[in-house]
Structure 1
Amino acid sequence: MLTLDVLGPGGPYRSRRVETIQDLTGNPVATLSLAPSLYVVRAMQALGRTPELPLDARIAAFAAAGRAFATQSIAGLTPAEYQHTVSAVTGIPITVVRNATEEIARAAEQIQHNVRKARPVGAVDSWRDPLSRGGAAVWSRRGEVFAVHAAGNHPAVHQGWLDALALGYRVAVRPSRREPFTPHRLITALRAAGFGERILLLPTDHTVADEVLRHADLGMVYGGADVVRKYAGDRRVLPQGPGRSKILLTAETDWEPVLDTLVESISSGGGVGCVNATGILVEGDPAPVAAALAERLAALPSLPATDERAVLPVAPIGLARRWDQHLRQRATGTKAWLGGDGIVDDLGDGSAVLRPAVHQLDSPFAEQLGVELGFPCAWVAPWDRDAGIRPLRDTLVLTAVTTDADLIDELVAEPTIGNVYLGEHPTPWMAPGLPHDGYLAEFLMRTKTVLR
């Protein structure tokens, strides 16, 4: 049994109230301390009094922490043991967890490059810059303490708040109780590398969670549509909701050569990410595309998540059956090309593989295009020029297989489309220094004129 303590201002803290974390087969794996309300309030107040770490020290600490996270034993776990634990508890394929480990380490080691990308080209980092003698825009924080309600669907989400720490914010992370292992490991490495008590891990239950946000200057919250609605009017909080990523195939292009791109977009990383494609819109007959996708996705193997060949997510059998029932309800009135007879593949040990699903819709405005599930699931719909870009709105990543420059102009200009990839680029593609859902620094920072 692993013990995951609160990482607070006075060092590790073991609460009287703990939660037992089980693996997919029901075996206990770890106990997670849950911080009580009074502790959270005092910890956040202490965080606000903690001085900023100088920039050079921050960058050096990030580099050391990134190397340690990926290569060293931390809190009693080797990298391989950590990766196996995450896979066994969450059902994310072990190779996906391993890749995420490298991504997080790389993001930490390249943090200075990444945050500089977000700074306006006309701004400087400090009022001490010689340019301020004649007047300069200085890149300045909008606050001092940043809080995160983290997601547990993928380890790599914890790259998302690193920029705040690099920009000088003091950071408090409330981890997902589904997967607290990654933030516990990462924050332990960051604290040991030099950040100390400038970063906290505050696991809580839902009744205490808002205390973490209430006592921060700014915050970021991951969740579904309900979370987005809850915080939509709060300018202090940046909600990170469903991705609803999509692919558009226009009539003047041939879809067969990009079938690999479609399959990768839907299923890579286990199909659990906000960047995985869920909507495929086809100008013309969508049936051949749906049939080809179903054939390819049906060939993916059902294996335990810790198997090196695993590519699909695994869940406890009860949860898998609830996912299956939910899919059946949402798919009413659609044509099932794959998954219509169920997506649960029982492994016989209390867990089940979540198999892919492909359904064909009658309209580009069908409500299913906004449905995002925790496994590879594609809704294939017809699209035409009369529909325009309305069905493509509210999309984190859109891969557009088209040569229509006017249409591309519209897609790039549409405010609710986060990223546009043209041609054979899968929706999960990402690169260091490029924005995911905009740069986080756009929310954290502002420019102010300083004249010396």
Structure 2
Amino acid sequence: AVDIAYQSITFDGGRGCINCSGIIYNGKDSYEEFRDRLAEKMASLEPLDPMNPRAEIPAMATDPARGLYKFIRSRMDSSVKDITAKFRGSDEFLHVDNGLSYLLPTLLEVGEESEIRTDEYPHAFGTICRPNDYYPEELVEDSLAVGYLTDDPSKAKRLLRDPSIKKVFVNDQTFNMDIAQPHEGFQADFLYKSKATNYDGINNILK
């Protein structure tokens, strides 16, 4: 589960629209162990020169990176806890080197009502929380992609029937999608409108 969550957050630098941006942990135990193992693994990623083939953290121009960093900071209220900070040894997740900036992988522990819980940013960023006042399914409504890790796949039925969730991945990374099926539809869906009729002479009257 830790490896799936880690790859879902950090794949391709966390820049993809179906990278994982939030985790709802509904297990009865081992929450702290899962949270800390994930945060430690994320914090172990180091910024490398973008020409280095082992580089996993995308480099950014400094001004946009600073602006995004300040914005994320402004969204972190007193109830938000940076779990990666204790493994990185610093609560700073902006790294500047040789004119390039890096937003370091970040895992924030948040409450269900926290405004930042559903935020998405173009780097390896994620939030994690345990549901108390809500059902877990309520907290993932209106999602582009949901990864459901479970010992009982049949429990994903409610997610599969929820029209507000575009994609459901059961025990798999959220980015494992078929590129032949774009999640925002095909271009033809926007250029044309479909209409059904039982009139055989439709082509004659539409000329």
TM range, smaller chain? 0.7 to 0.9
Say if 1:400 and 1:422, in contact at 8 Å, map to a contact too. Answer: yes
Aligned to 2:13: 270
Larger-gyration structure (1/2): 1
The total of aligned residue pairs comes to 191
Q: Distance in 1 between matches of 2:162 and 2:179?
A: 24
Matched, 1:399 2:147: yes
Point out the structure with the larger strand share. Answer: 1
Matched, 1:360 2:109: yes
The SS at the match of 1:338 is: helix
Aligned to 1:350: 99
Matched, 1:378 2:126: yes
Ranges of 4+ aligned residues in structure 1 off by more than 6 Å: none
Tell me which of 292, 306, 309 is aligned to 2:37: 292
Aligned to 1:147: none
Q: Shift of the alpha carbon at 1:317?
A: 2.3
The sequence identity of aligned pairs, in percent, is: 25
TM-score (norm: length of structure 1): 0.39
Say if 1:283 and 1:383, in contact at 8 Å, map to a contact too. Answer: yes
Structure 2 counterparts to residues 421-440 of structure 1, below 5 A = 421-423=169-171, 425-440=172-187
Task: For structure 1, list consecutive stretches of 5 or more residues without a partner in the other structure.
Answer: 1-257
Q: Shift of the alpha carbon at 1:263?
A: 0.9
Please provide the CA RMSD for this pair. 2.2
Q: Shift of the alpha carbon at 1:414?
A: 1.1
Q: Deviations over 1:375-429 (max 9, x none)?
A: 1111001036952422101210101112152x42211111111100101x11111
Q: Deviations over 1:323-348 (max 9, x none)?
A: 2222222122211111461111222x
TM-score (norm: length of structure 2): 0.82
Q: Distance in 2 between matches of 1:367 and 1:361?
A: 9
Q: Distance in 2 between matches of 1:359 and 1:343?
A: 12
Say if 1:324 and 1:342, in contact at 8 Å, map to a contact too. Answer: no
Higher RCO (CA 8 Å, separation ≥ 6 residues): 2
Taking a change above 3 Å as real, the CA distance of residues 420 and 385 of structure 1, as seen in their structure-2 partners, is: farther
Q: Shift of the alpha carbon at 1:321?
A: 2.3
Taking a change above 3 Å as real, the CA distance of residues 386 and 331 of structure 1, as seen in their structure-2 partners, is: closer
Taking a change above 3 Å as real, the CA distance of residues 353 and 396 of structure 1, as seen in their structure-2 partners, is: same
Q: Shift of the alpha carbon at 1:356?
A: 0.7
Aligned to 2:204: none
Q: Distance in 2 between matches of 1:357 and 1:276?
A: 13
Structure 2 counterparts to residues 230-379 of structure 1, below 5 A = 258-284=1-27, 286-332=31-77, 333-339=79-85, 341-347=91-97, 349-363=98-112, 365-379=113-127
Task: For structure 2, list consecutive stretches of 5 or more residues without a partner in the other structure.
Answer: 202-207
